[in-house]
Each structure stands twice: as structure tokens, then as C-alpha cells.
Amino acid sequence: MEIADRVPQVLRDNVLITSIDGLFKWARSNSLWPLTSGLSCCAIEMMCTAAARFDLARFGYEVFRNSPRQADLFLVAGTLTWKMAPPLKRLYEQMPEPKYVIAMGSCANAGGPFADAYSVVPGIDKIIPVDVYIPGCPPRPEALIDGMLKLKEKIRHPENVQKVQK
Amino acid sequence: MTEAVSKVIRTEEYQLSMGPVHPSTHGVLQILLTLDGERVVKAVPCMGYLHRGIEKLMESRNYFQCMPYTDRLDYVSAMNNDFAYCRAVEKLAQLEVPERAQYIRVIMAELNRIASHMIFIGSLAVDVGATTGMIYPFRDRECILDIFNELCGARMTYSYIRIGGVKSDLSVKVIDMINVFLKNLSAMIDEYNDLLTGNEIFQHRLKNTSVITAEQALQLGLTGPMLRASGVNYDLRKDNAYSSYEDFIFDVPLGNSGDNWDRYIVRMKEMRQSAKIVKQALDGLPEGSVMAKVPKVLRPPKGEVYVTTEGPRGEVGYHIISDGTVKPYRVHIRRPSLINLQALDLMCRGYLVGDVVVAMSTIDPILGEVDC
């Protein structure tokens, strides 16, 4: 017998049957708590996204945390240098599971215009795993919102995501 | 009483590391604080977390390809940086910029100065705990970004000011947008005054903290609003007028005590003066072309120049050495944020830990510019 069939007739309209996994995915994808980790230029666009016009709160992602222990989304916005790489990795390790990473901007994706500089990490995926890459230098706030919605898709339907061959 | 107690009780100094990831260090700056209880004994800024080697990268690019790097140096006032770089190259290559382009450059530089000061107000507000104070300037800054977006299609990194002039002429729509913005600006600033300036807690946090005297400011080599807040009347737009700044009537706002409050007020007043300059420039916009005749391959003659421009944070200087090829032999950039940041130790000594945050905020450093 199906579980749904065991629900008494009077409660049919009030009870939803789902898997615990589905419930977690739904909750996680609708309320990501980003860690404020602005590194450079993209951080200003990140602030704009959270501010009045673009209003990230519409999607439930506005709770920017200053402590990695309270965050589950690592929004790396800006150029990562080799000097900054150890603290960044440490921040990532301090975040509780499950955790997601968005690489915002060309610098975080692949070093951007500074890729051939002696002090710049050519892409944060050399240091930490990345879920969503957002191109742009800097990406517009709309692009950041789109990236976060892509991440939402990924959390809800991980089976639809294809692995990028690098 | 506290003095009597401190003579009896021996306290120990301890170290606290603030940053590199901290909400009020404006990026990736680490401050090593030596504390005695709540009092700051020493504050040492530890830089380099955003060192991208821009000066070195410029040596391997030609003069036109250097433009994107100047955009990303001080990323909240990219126009001012482009302006400074272009003026240096133009002097090196002896190019004459048409008057219309000079006026357009002034308009854009001043609009960007207002946008930059809006970020200052927003981040200062959020640093002292007034989150609402951040939302309003960021909302109004979007109006300026809209103008730039219409002008060149970018919100932050413009490359609109080019070597020899500007990329394109102003369209009617842009001029309309600027006029609408200027009309609304006064109300916007009044709103910030209502929100922040009149707030008693805000005044208590800012007044009589982190005082820099005029003498100390000059010794440290401070420039821009930080120097003027200490009462020194030094503004390159007046004292070494460039790009037709001599045509415009405006005041240089000065502070008298050199505390955090003065640095805030000076920037607030500067916004109104910038608007005044934009208005005059728009009204008196001369006719003509917006681009000088610039060779496709630019080979400036051998030599070196140092050209300074007044940016929102102070004197932006470019020292370029040319060896006669298409690439600069060496570029050194005098970044006002870096030099103003030296005052941090002086501003924090003897004050409380909470004042470090406010001091950092009123220096208004951009870490991209500090680390270069």
C-alpha cells in the first residue's frame, strides 16, 4: 500500500507526502545563507545585489553572515591571490556541511585579466570546489541572481547537473 | 578614578588580529591590533592580500591595453583613475585633448566622485551599526550607474575616458538623465542628513575621535578629503587646475578639527560642490569633436612624466617612463588609499576598539588600490 493511501480521508487536503531528502532540498535551496567574503571589485556588485534595487531578499538569500560557521554558501567575489588563498581555504573548511560555492566574476573563474600575474590564483577551483561559475568582469547583479537560481536548481535536482570537464 | 586604578592594577597587553576577512575592513585587509583592555596601543595594517601586480602587468601591455587595469585599481571610481592615466599618457605623447572632451571628462569624473562618496556614506553607516543608512545611498548610486550604463554599457569598469579624449559623445538621453539626477541630488543628500547627520548616537561615535592635526596630516602625506578635514586647503582641481577645471566656480569644503566627523562632513559637502561643477559643465558644454587624432600605434617619445589628478580619495598620480616603444617601460601609481592608510596607527592609538572600525571607514580605503 502506498504511504499516501494510509492518510485518513479528512486529512488528505492538509498533508503532503514527500521524502526527507526532498524536504531538505526544498528547505536548503530556498534559504541560502551567504558568507560575506568580498575580495575585490565584484564585492561592490554583490553589495548592490543585496541593496535596494535588486533586493536579493526577494529570493530568500539576503541573510549575509560574517561568520563561516553560520553560512552555507561561499560567494567568492573577486580576485584571489596566493597570499589570500590559505585564509580562504580555511574559511571554506570552517563552514558546516552541506556547503556550496559560487565563483563570481572572471577572476574567481579563471584569473580574469590578472591571469598571468605572478601573485594571482588562476581560478578559485585550484583551491576549493566550485558549484556555479558566473562570468563577467564584474557580473551584473542580474547575473549574480541568475547564478544563485542556478544553484537552487542544482540543489533541487542534482541529477540534472553535468560535470564540467576541465 | 580610572587613572588611580590603572596605577595600582598592572594590565597586560595582548594582540588581536582583525581581518583579512572582516565585515568592516572594506576588503581583504588585516589589522594587527595591540590592545590594553579596550584601548588600542598600536594598530598595524598588514597589506598585500589583494596584490595583483598591476604595475608589472602594465609593462607587458601597450598603452591602450593598460586601460582595463586602471579601471580595476580603484573600482568604485574607475572614471577618475582612467582620467589620471589618460592625462599622463597624453602628456607623454604630447596629445591635445579637444575642449568638449575635457568638459565631458570633468562631468564624468565628478559624477563618479559623487558615486564614490555615496559608497563611503553607506559603508560608514553600516560600520557604525546603522544598516538602513547603507540602503539609501546604494539606491541613489544606481541613478549614477544608470547614466554610465547608458553612456558606455558598463556599471563599474567603464574605460570610457580614452587616450586623447572620450569614447563617444553624450547622447540627448544621457544629458537628460544627468539633469534629472542633479535635480534630485539635493533631496537625496537631505535624506542622508535626516538619517545620519542628525542622529545623536552617530555624532557621539564620530565627534572627537581619531583626530589628525594639520601638521600631522602634512607629515604623513595625506591628500584628498582626509587632508582637507584637517583644515589644509589643498585641492588639485583648484591649485593645479587641469582639464578646464579653471572654468568652473566651486568651493573647497574644509574641516577644522580633523576628527572623524569632519571627514564625514567634508565628503557630504563635496557632493554638492561636485554637482555644482557638473551643472556648470553641462550648461557650458562647448561644441567640437570628442577625440584628438591619436595614432593607431602609440609610441610616445623617450622620457618620463608624473601627472596628478584629484580623485575622490586624494591625489592619484601616474609616473610613466617611456623607452620609445609601444609599451611603457615602467608605470608607478601613487595611490591615495595606500598613503592615507598610513594614518591608521595615529588615528587608533589611545582610542577604543570600536573606534578602529570608524577610523578605517573614514579613511575610506579601496583595497584594490592599496595593494595595487
Gap between the Cα atoms of A60 and B173, Å rounded: 36
pLDDT at B23: 76
Percentage of residues in chain B having pLDDT higher than 70: 98
ipTM over 0.90: no
Gap between the Cα atoms of B120 and B132, Å rounded: 14
Written as one string, the DSSP assignment of B316-370 is EEEEEEE-SSSSEEEEEEE-HHHHHHTTHHHHHTTSBHHHHHHHHHHH---HHHH
Residue B139 to residue A38, Cβ atoms within 8 A: no
pLDDT bucket at B169, cuts 50 / 70 / 90: very high
- Which chain B positions have a beta carbon within 8 Å of A53's beta carbon? 138-139, 142
- Give B247's DSSP letter: G
Residue-wise pLDDT for B84-125, tens only, equals: 999 999 999 999 999 999 999 999 999 999 999 999 999 999
Q: Touching check for B138 and chain A: CB below 8 Å?
A: yes
Q: What is the 3-state secondary structure (H, E, C) of chain A?
A: CCCHHHCCHHHCCCCCCCCHHHHHHHHHHHCCCEECCECCHHHHHHHHHHCCCCCHHHHCCCCCECCHHHCCEEEEECCCECCCHHHHHHHHHHCCCCCEEEEEHHHHHHCHHHCCCCCECCCHHHCCCCCEEECCCCCCHHHHHHHHHHHHHHHHCHHHCCCCCC
Q: Compute the 3-state secondary structure of chain B and give helix, strand, coil in percent, each to the nearest 5.
A: 50, 15, 35
Q: Touching check for B53 and chain A: CB below 8 Å?
A: yes
pLDDT at B3: 62
Residues from A in contact with B at Cβ < 8 Å: 36-41, 43-45, 47-48, 51-53, 66, 78-79, 81, 83-84, 87, 91, 113-114, 116-120, 137-138, 140
Q: What is the mean pLDDT of residues B5-33?
A: 82
Gap between the Cα atoms of B366 and A31, Å rounded: 31
Residue A41 to residue B27, Cβ atoms within 8 A: no
Gap between the Cα atoms of A112 and A79, Å rounded: 8
pLDDT bucket at A37, cuts 50 / 70 / 90: confident
Q: What is the mean pLDDT of residues B284-303?
A: 91
Gap between the Cα atoms of A122 and A85, Å rounded: 11
Residue B50 to residue A45, Cβ atoms within 8 A: no
Of A8-17, A22-31, B311-320, minimum mean pLDDT range: A8-17
Gap between the Cα atoms of B276 and A122, Å rounded: 44
How many C-beta atoms surround the C-beta of residue B244 within 10 A? 18
Q: Residues 13..42 of B with a Cβ closer than 8 Å to A: which?
A: 20-23, 27-28
Residue-wise pLDDT for B242-253, tens only, equals: 888 999 999 999
How is residue B50 written as a grid cell? 589583494
pLDDT bucket at B279, cuts 50 / 70 / 90: very high
Furthest-apart CA atoms within chain B: distance in Å: 76
Q: Touching check for B155 and chain A: CB below 8 Å?
A: yes
Q: What is the mean pLDDT of residues B77-83?
A: 92
Of A10-14, B90-94, B170-174, minimum mean pLDDT range: A10-14
pLDDT at A2: 76
Residue-wise pLDDT for A90-138, tens only, equals: 999 999 988 999 999 999 999 889 998 999 999 899 999 999 999 998 8
* Sequence-ordered list of residues with C-beta below 8 angstroms from that of A118, at least 6 positions apart, any chain: B53, B56
Residue B56 to residue A47, Cβ atoms within 8 A: no
- CB-nearest partner of B72 from A41, A83, A84: A41
- Which chain A positions have a beta carbon within 8 Å of B135's beta carbon? 51-52
Q: What is the mean pLDDT of residues B262-269?
A: 93
Is pLDDT of B178 > 90? yes
Between residues B320 and A66, which one has the greater pLDDT? B320
C-alpha closest to that of B311 among B114, B102, B72:
B114
Side-by-side strand order, sheet with B328-334: B303-311, B314-322, B328-334
Residue with cell 567575489: A77
- Which chain A positions have a beta carbon within 8 Å of B337's beta carbon? none
Gap between the Cα atoms of A40 and A44, Å rounded: 8
Percentage of residues in chain B having pLDDT higher than 90: 68
pLDDT bucket at B130, cuts 50 / 70 / 90: confident
How many C-beta atoms surround the C-beta of residue B60 within 10 A? 12
pLDDT at B144: 93
Cis link prior to A96 (omega < 30° from 0)? no
Is pLDDT of B325 > 80? yes
Gap between the Cα atoms of B345 and B342, Å rounded: 7
pLDDT at B133: 86
Give, in degrees to the nearest 5, the angle at Cα A104 between B141 and B151. 40
C-alpha closest to that of B199 among B296, B282, B290, B264:
B264
- CB-nearest partner of A40 from B53, B57, B368: B368
pLDDT bucket at B338, cuts 50 / 70 / 90: very high
The pTM of this model reads 0.91
What is the three-class DSSP state of B208? coil
Residue-wise pLDDT for B142-158, tens only, equals: 999 999 999 999 898 99
pLDDT at B318: 93
Q: What is the mean pLDDT of residues B75-82?
A: 91
Task: Please provide residue B202's backbone torsions phi and psi, each rounded to the nearest 5 degrees.
Answer: -60, -45
Residue A45 to residue B53, Cβ atoms within 8 A: no
Gap between the Cα atoms of B215 and B213, Å rounded: 5
- Which chain A positions have a beta carbon within 8 Å of B138's beta carbon? 47-48, 51-53
pLDDT averaged over chain B?
90
- CB-nearest partner of B56 from A87, A117, A138: A117
Residue-wise pLDDT for B47-65, tens only, equals: 889 999 999 999 999 999 9
pLDDT bucket at A166, cuts 50 / 70 / 90: low
pLDDT bucket at A164, cuts 50 / 70 / 90: low
Q: What is the mean pLDDT of residues A37-47?
A: 86
pLDDT at A16: 81
Percentage of residues in chain A having pLDDT higher than 90: 45
User: What is the crossing angle of helices B260-283 and B172-192, to 10°?
Assistant: 150
Between chain A and chain B, how many beta carbons pairs sit less than 8 Å apart? 89
- CB-nearest partner of B52 from A36, A47, A81: A81
Residue B75 to residue A44, Cβ atoms within 8 A: yes
- CB-nearest partner of A83 from B48, B60, B367: B48
Is pLDDT of B1 > 60? no
How is residue A103 written as a grid cell? 565563483
pLDDT at B331: 93
**What's the gap between Cα B175 and its chain centre?**
25
Between residues B80 and A1, which one has the greater pLDDT? B80
